[in-house]
């Protein structure tokens, strides 16, 4: 019996960051960079802490923007890494208006989404023109219980 196919997520690594940065020398603290790159891969109780590509992208961007692993360009590189992450994982999006991207990243970097991570993901999807996250599937109603005696002979 074949196991069901499970799509694996493509994650960014230090080589991808060197590509985005153009110069590895701008990395101030490699451990903070590694921590940020690892956050989208986190799990809790055997399940992904960030269950879809969009939440993983925002987790990556938030960690890069708030950890400040580079000497400069942390927010800009964080946003570019989020887009590259979406590209690697086949998620379509439209280029955002620059003002929207700047406002989003400032809020993300300054902790403006603290305790409202789902709002950050929704805002990220919105500024990139992605469809909102679909609601969870509804469970079909349970069949009504039969009361009374059986009529079979």
Q: Classify domain 30-127 by CATH number.
A: 1.20.120.1870
Q: Where are the beta strands (DSSP E) in the chain?
A: 43-44, 47-48
Assess whether pLDDT exceeds 50 at residue 61: yes
Domain boundaries, the chain: 30-127
The overall average pLDDT reported for the chain is: 87
The count of other CB atoms within 10 Å of the CB of residue 113 is 19
Assess whether pLDDT exceeds 80 at residue 134: no
The closest of 120, 44, 110 to 82, measured between CA atoms, is 120
Assess whether pLDDT exceeds 80 at residue 7: no
55 CB contacts (<8 Å, ≥6 apart)?
117, 121
The closest of 12, 14, 53, 60 to 36, measured between CA atoms, is 60
Q: How confident is the model at residue 83 (pLDDT cuts 50, 70, 90)?
A: very high
Q: Are 39 and 46 in contact (CB under 8 A)?
A: no
Q: What share of the chain is helix, strand, coil (3-state, %, to 5)?
A: 50, 5, 45
4-32 mean pLDDT: 84
Q: Are 17 and 27 in contact (CB under 8 A)?
A: yes
Q: Does 60 or 146 have the greater pLDDT score?
A: 60
Q: How far does Cα 133 stand from its chain's mean position?
A: 12
Q: Does 149 or 96 have the greater pLDDT score?
A: 96
* pTM of the predicted model as reported, rounded to 2 decimal places: 0.81
Q: Are 40 and 60 in contact (CB under 8 A)?
A: yes
Q: Does 23 or 3 have the greater pLDDT score?
A: 23
The two tokens of residue 124 are 């990220």
Q: How confident is the model at residue 137 (pLDDT cuts 50, 70, 90)?
A: low
DSSP-derived secondary structure letter, 149: -
Per-residue pLDDT, 4? 47
């Amino acid at each position: 019996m074949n196991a069901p196919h499970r799509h694996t997520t493509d994650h960014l690594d230090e080589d991808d960051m060197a590509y985005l940065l153009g110069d590895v020398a701008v990395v101030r603290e490699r451990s903070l960079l590694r921590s940020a790159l690892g956050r989208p891969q986190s799990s809790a109780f055997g399940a992904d802490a960030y269950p879809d590509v969009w939440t993983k992208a925002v987790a990556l961007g938030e960690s890069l923007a708030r950890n400040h692993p580079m000497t400069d360009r942390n927010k800009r590189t964080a946003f570019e890494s989020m887009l590259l992450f979406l590209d690697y994982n086949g998620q379509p999006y439209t280029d955002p208006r620059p003002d929207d991207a700047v406002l989003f990243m400032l809020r993300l970097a300054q902790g403006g989404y603290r305790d409202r991570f789902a709002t950050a993901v929704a805002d990220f999807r919105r500024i990139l023109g992605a469809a909102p996250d679909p609601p969870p599937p509804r469970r079909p109603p349970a069949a009504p219980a039969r009361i009374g005696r059986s009529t079979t002979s």
